[in-house]
Structure 1
Amino acid sequence: MTNSHQLRNRIADIDGGELTGLPSTHHPYAVVFPAPQARVIVYTTKFEATRQLLAFANAATPLGIIGRYGLPRDKDIEGFVAIAHDLPIYFLGDCDPFDLLVFTWLRQHLAIQFLGVSDAVVAALGVAVTERITIALPDQEKRAIPLLREVSSDLEGFVGPNCARMLQDNRKLELEALVSCHTTPVTNLLSLLIDAA
């Protein structure tokens, strides 16, 4: 397995600077600190979409949120741990090579579980995945697929066979599509989080 420093360098070789090239001031963190009754922390690459998705639940959610686009810096991990304390951390992001590489990198630093766009989340939200709501992978993300497969040998295990096949077909599904197209209450997604805690 590639260590986190090697993985960061390999991501930088293919991402065109999208995940690794900008100073952290261009992609600052957004944080919803966990209330005392919080049971989970969500780390997301799509803070606004996550906030919108959770807002549909119309309930005070028992969770905290840490959000930022791009690959975190090594020194940011201490901050995540300080916010999470002993709470379990879940990753919520797109089913695309870049977000999945961010998740893979985070797994080298944290006990983080995947709850990103996957077959399970798509089903929980009642989304019918059609070509209309998926997006063709841009060239940079196509170039990331071999690295993703190499460093995430359990890719199909956490995104599911349908989402894995979609990636293989050079398509992706973003969190914003789930916000727009969900047909069942978002409390189903919250239940996935809470039941897993």
Structure 2
Amino acid sequence: MTITGQTSASRVDRLGKRPAVYLVIADDRDAYTNWAEHSREDRLPQRRVVYVERQADHPVERQAQWDELAGSCLDAESESLSLLTYTAVSAGHAAHLARREYAVASVVTRMDEVINSHVERGSRGWIAIRIADGGSDGELYADYEDAWAAQLHPERCTYLPISPLTPWTPRMCEEHLEAMTHMRHGCMVYGAPTCRR
């Protein structure tokens, strides 16, 4: 098995770096390393990538490869291990995609929880959401200006009107945070992102 970060040269298409399918075993069990990190508001859990392997080209080999890796996950008797697939240009890139996917899902979940906590109470007003982690200070403000003024780093937040009449879906949260991240990086051109973050 090749551990992420120790990718052999044969795993990467050296010249073209053409995309290929990679199989990734990820462990989400200890996403936080200690209680202090768990309690910090801006701390995101991180997925641990245990193993990465390029998918075989031949269908029979591909099935045997999948069965072996899925069996390894089951043999570990850990519900936190999962076998994932990513289209990437290298094993390192596949590992990055696995970690990024988990981080984005965590941020979106946190933002969705913040919004729903206000909407379920029938609250109306403005909230400040931290772009980096999807969290909030928990306060509801009368208007945008009040929400902006109350933040220690207002440029790191996005501001949303909250009302039971305008619910947010997790997909809306994800799209909004992605757009705000691109705007914060200064990589939006004519309303479309120009970077691959």
TM-score, normalised relative to structure 2: 0.24
The answer to which structure has the higher strand fraction is: 2
| Bigger relative CO (Cα 8 Å, ≥ 6 apart) | 1
Instruction: Please identify the structure whose Cα radius of gyration is greater.
Output: 2
TM-score, normalised relative to structure 1: 0.24
